[in-house]
Each structure stands twice: as structure tokens, then as C-alpha cells.
Chain A
């Protein structure tokens, strides 16, 4: 007889989400529902009627961790709709921005994920805020990597958070040779730090993989060798940057995308029948609590070729670099392996960048209402924005952000894990929930969903 556990809210990630888990007598998850409970932002509706220059700036406000990815995806889907090619130097600075974003986001995720891990050779969990070595120097390295990522973003993008410099047609301002030099020096400084950080993280993650148990809420929970395994596919549009409908060989296809309502995807009303008050941060929800994932989920469920897919570092590695390790640890390791790539790409882009080149397209068409899309590889995965622009105004706008893609995939990956380790699996996806929250109202059928949720 299966029991129901609810972990609400889940912790150490961005946004608000919860886990509703059906578990067997041994506490192994039979079905897991991971859902966003962050209130709907409504950016897609706000966008309608606004100018194509405004919308990417508004879209970036869904989240402060990867605003760069949202800005760039927003801008590039506008450019895709109006069919505007940007100058090479503008593209290079956008690539620099993209990598800076990925660098500081991955470093932040290290802080969130380390408390689940153990210092190799000991039974001591890592507290990244500890003043003691060896953790202290790791924390300092993380902070410096984040600082460098944000400073490079600030120089190339105008702001560390919510970049002001990118615009439809290119960028407002080019970087001076001095600014390029500064970014270059920062990237050079970060490169050895990033490699050290990658090595450290991989050692810690491999150590976790070899362990038999992990301590959660005072109990030793066995770690299955297949923690976080799933059989879903992977989706990535580009190893580092982005693909759009203007590309000769687009890395994403809107024809293959469909949406399912949360009503059809998540389980219906259940009552919590298993509780553990000793579970970290206040225990799980008490027995008798009603949970209704169908009604509470604030995301649509996007499918690619009719099935949920994983997006993120591992998806990029699988698609473009023949990476094949499954499970939560495999996913985490893929993320660490992206560290040096971010910096090599920044350095190469700055080498190619010409400070006296133009960064704005000579002609910016105003659009005829045709569909444009951009699939930006944000730190957490493929961030697809779609738009239709006519006479400079946005007619239709859609955001399919990384964690939206990952919600159903991660729910499947939970199966087979002890419920106490469900959050470890969730954190492996580096979830960033607030941008993932939106409702899709495409046709009459789906309008009923919206009404149901409002009731």
C-alpha cells in the first residue's frame, strides 16, 4: 500500500516548488510529482501590444539569476520574427554575456548543492558557510567566480543583473579596447579558479556516488546507484550559445513542441499519509494535509516529440559531446565540466572582437507578424522564446524556459529513489522555478484549465 509524502516547500533552489511523492513501504518513490507553486507572472500577456524593444526587457524580469539568457532569447526571437541579422561584433559581445551568465550561475549552484555532499574520506557534510578550511577557500573561490562572471556581464551588458545593453538589432554600446582588456584579464584570472573548482566539485560528487548512505534528518538513507536515472530524451540547441529560426541549421524545431495542461499531467487530490518531522527545515507536511498537484501546479508541461525531455548541461553534453553518464551525479558533473568552456569561449570571443566595429544592424525591419523563435542555452538549459512581431509591436509571445522543460522529466527521475533523497535529485537540475511559472492559454480547451485553476 503506497503512502503519500509531501515536501513543501523544497529548499536550496530559486523560487517556490513542492514535491508530492507516492512511496512504497520501504520509502522508495513509486510516483513523484514535482511542481511549481510560484504565482503566475503573466509576462506573455503583458507582452502583447508592447514594442519589440520593451518586451525582452520585461521578459528578463522573470528572474534575477539568468536575466541575460531571457534578455538574449527575447531579443533574438524578435530578431527572428522581423528577420534582422546583427553584426558579428554584437554577436561576439552577446556570447561573452552568455558565458558570463553561465559562469556565475553554475558557481551559485555549487553553494546550493554542496550541503548535500560529504567531504571526501569523512562522514561530515559540507557547510559552504563554514569559516574552516578546506571549505573556506572553496567558498572564496565561488564568490570570486561569481564576482568575475557578474563584472564581465556588467561591462558587456551594462548591468550585472538585467542587462541594459543588448537591444533588437544588436547592442546599444560597443566596448572600448580598455573594457575588452579588463574582461580578458578577468577571464584569464577566472580560468585557473574555474578548473580548480571543477576538479574539486567532481571529486566531491564522485565521493558521494561511492557512498552507501547519506544522512538525512538523523537517519542513514541508502543511496541507490541509479539515483536520478530516467529514460527521457535530451534537448539542446547549441553547445554554448543559442540557435534561432534565422540559422541555416536551426537547433530547435517549433513543430516538435506541444503543450499539456497540468490538469492532465499531475496526480489529482491526495492526502498525506506519511510524515517525518525530523526531515530538515521543519519536517514534511503533517499527515492529513491535502495536496492537489493538478490544481496547484503553475506551469504548463511542454513536450518535445510528445515526451518530456531533459534540458541543461547534461543535455548539451549528450547532444554535442557524446557524454553518456546518467543520474543526478552524472548531471552535476556535466555542469562542472562546463566551467572552463565558459571562459575559453569568452577569451576566444574577445580575441575576435573588434572594438571599432559596428554593433547595431544598419536596417531594423519592423516585422510582418511571422513567427520567430530563439532557443538560448541558459545555464539551466534550453530557454526558448517565441514571438510574432508586426509593425514593431508584439502580437504574440511565449516563453518555454529550462525548468518548465525539466519539471516533468525530473518527476520521472524521482522514481526509484528513497523519498528522503528526492530533493537531492531535484537540486541536480539546478531548478530556477520563478521563470518556469506560467500558464498557457492557446485554445478553448486550455482556457477551461485557467478557469479551473482560478476557482
Chain B
């Protein structure tokens, strides 16, 4: 298709140079490292991230204003964290002027839409200083992920050390060293139905987007998309925050990213088209076509 990866200025494979970050990060620790750098340099004065909550692996959006706080949010939790819902509060009772936010492609769309039409977003739109997007095929509700882990994988949520989706499988690593893998076929029915109309895999609208796909284990693929993103990314590189490799020299490389992006788009395009004739004389509006 050619447009599946969106517009970007540069694409590299990268990982953080901080051992502390890599110890608990999902892949290359890109989001944590970039936010940590931006926080230390004063590019942002707080970041909205998916932090821990009372329940294991249930993310709770929270506003990290120091690197220590940021560290508690390392790693991916495969379910919904409504980060955008905190963006206004960040500029209000938290008193932030330069906000960083991380989110899935749909959340990046929300952020940009809010900036374009700031209804109810007085003084919020201009305060978004860094928006980092993460690759996303689909998302799960917490109940779904709990059922996958506890019923299908037979692991108690409390004993999970890490979850991962990669190589066509859903992986659950436990504290005691056991590894359970589920074929992705099992997970499909637990996906949020709303994800099936999304035509964005690589967070086209973010400043910088990142994900594991396309890079070797322990590394992440990074798209630098906007001028602002490019500016911050190049400063972070110059400061020695990241090790990078040209994306052309790593396996599996951009081809896999393109393949998965195309898969997502063509699969979801079908849902979009189906929904156009859904219901009795009440076709749902296609969100990608102007009415």
C-alpha cells in the first residue's frame, strides 16, 4: 500500500543505554528513556504514563514528574490505560506547562484532534510538548487479559513477570521461570471490538512512535515523525541516551512492520465496510470517510 507506515523523517532500531531502564522495560526502553531525557532536560515537566495500580498488570494513568516515578511505569501492560483522560488535569491541579503523553494510535488521534479542535481543552492544546505513540494491533480489556492469563495460560496474575506479544504468540513469563505461550488465535475473541475499525498500526500522528516489531529482541523500532519529535530525538541521541542501528541492517526490519501494518489495515478495512451496512437502515458511519 505504501502509506501504511505514515509519514516519518527517520526510522531506526534503537535501545536505551541505561541498564536500569532496560532491566524492566518491554523491549528497548524507548518511551521511558525518551521521557526521562525530556524530563531531565526540562523539555517536558511531567509525562502521562500507564503506571501500576492495585491490581497486577492493570494500568492506571498517572502523571510522572520525576524519573523515579517514571521508572515505576516501565514495561507494557496489555490492556487499556485511558491516558488522554488525564491530560487536562495535568495542566490544572498538577500545574504542568509542558506535558508528555504516551499512547496507542487511537490515543494519538485523540490528542491531535483535541489540539485541532480544543473544545473543553482551553490552554491544554498548546501544552502538549511530546506525544509518543506505540505500535498497536489491538487492545484488551482488563477482564480479557485476566481470563487469558488465568484461564487459558493457567497462571495467576500475581505471579506474572512479563507479558509479551511477538512471533505470532502471546507469551506469559512467570516469576518462577515458567513460560506459557498461547497462539494468537485464542486471543482474538478477547480483543476490544472498537479496535477492529482502526486503520493505524504505527501511531502515524505521534511525534515519535515505537514498538518491538521489526527489531531484534531487546531493541525497538523507532519512527521519528514530526519536527518536534526529530528535535527531541536528535538531542537525546547526541546526549548518548540511545544505541541505534540503521533499520536496513537489522532483521526482520521494516518489511515485517509493513506486513503487519498492512494486515491490520486490510483486516480492519473489512470491518469498516461491513459496518457500513450494519443494522436495519442504520448504517454506521465510516469514520475514515467524510460524510
Contacts and interface: CB of A to CB of B under 8 A. Distances in A.
B92 A155 contact: yes
Interface in B65-112: 65, 89, 91-97
B93 A160 contact: no
A158 B95 contact: no
Contact of A155 (B45, B65, B93, B122): B93
A140 interface: no
B20 to A, nearest CB: 24
Interface string B98-141: 00000000000000000000000011000000000000000000
A161 B123 CA distance: 12
A155 B127 CA distance: 14
Contacts of B92: 154-155, 158, 165, 173, 179
B94 A154 contact: no
A155 B95 contact: yes
Contacts, number: 40
A158 B94 CA distance: 10
Nearest to A172: B93
Contacts of A174: 93
A154 B95 CA distance: 9
Nearest to A151: B123
Most buried by A among B95, B122, B123: B95
Contacts of B91: 154
A176 B91 CA distance: 11
- Counting contact residues on chain A (CB < 8 A from B), the size range is 10 to 19
A159 interface: yes
B267 to A, nearest CB: 40
A179 B95 contact: yes
A422 interface: no
B95 A159 contact: no
A100 to B, nearest CB: 13
Contact of B96 (A159, A160, A178, A180): A178
Contacts of B45: 178
Nearest to A174: B93
A137 interface: no
A175 B122 CA distance: 18
A161 B122 CA distance: 10
Nearest to A183: B95
A179 B122 contact: no
Contacts of B96: 178
A179 B90 CA distance: 10
A158 B122 CA distance: 10
Interface residues of B, number: 12
Contacts of B65: 178
Contacts of A179: 92-95
Contact of B93 (A151, A158, A161, A181): A158
A154 B122 contact: yes
Interface string A146-164: 0000010011101111000
A179 B93 CA distance: 6
A182 B93 CA distance: 10
Contacts of B97: 182
Nearest to B89: A173
A175 B123 contact: no
Given A173-B89, A178-B65, A160 B122 contact: yes
Nearest to B88: A158
Nearest to A182: B95
A176 B94 CA distance: 5
B39 to A, nearest CB: 13
A189 to B, nearest CB: 14
A166 B184 CA distance: 47
Nearest to A175: B93
A160 B89 CA distance: 13
Contacts of A161: 122
Contacts of A183: 95
Nearest to B94: A176
B119 to A, nearest CB: 12
A178 B89 contact: no
Contacts of B89: 173
Nearest to A158: B92
Interface string A262-287: 00000000000000000000000000
Nearest to A359: B93
Nearest to A179: B95
A156 B123 CA distance: 14
Contacts of A180: 95
A182 B96 CA distance: 9
Interface in A183-205: 183
Nearest to A178: B95
Contacts of B123: 151, 154, 160
Contacts of A176: 93-95
A165 B89 CA distance: 10
Nearest to B92: A158
Contacts of A160: 122-123
Nearest to A171: B93
A165 B93 contact: yes
A85 to B, nearest CB: 22
A353 to B, nearest CB: 12
Contacts of B122: 154, 159-161
A179 to B, nearest CB: 3
Contacts of A181: 95
Contacts of B95: 155, 175-176, 178-183
A212 to B, nearest CB: 47
Contacts of A178: 45, 65, 94-96
Given A178-B45, A178-B65, 10 more contacts: A154-B122, A155-B93, A160-B123, A173-B89, A176-B93, A176-B94, A178-B94, A178-B96, A180-B95, A182-B97
21 contacts: A151-B123, A154-B123, A155-B92, A155-B93, A155-B95, A156-B93, A159-B122, A160-B123, A165-B92, A173-B89, A173-B92, A176-B94, A176-B95, A178-B45, A178-B95, A178-B96, A179-B92, A179-B95, A180-B95, A181-B95, A182-B97
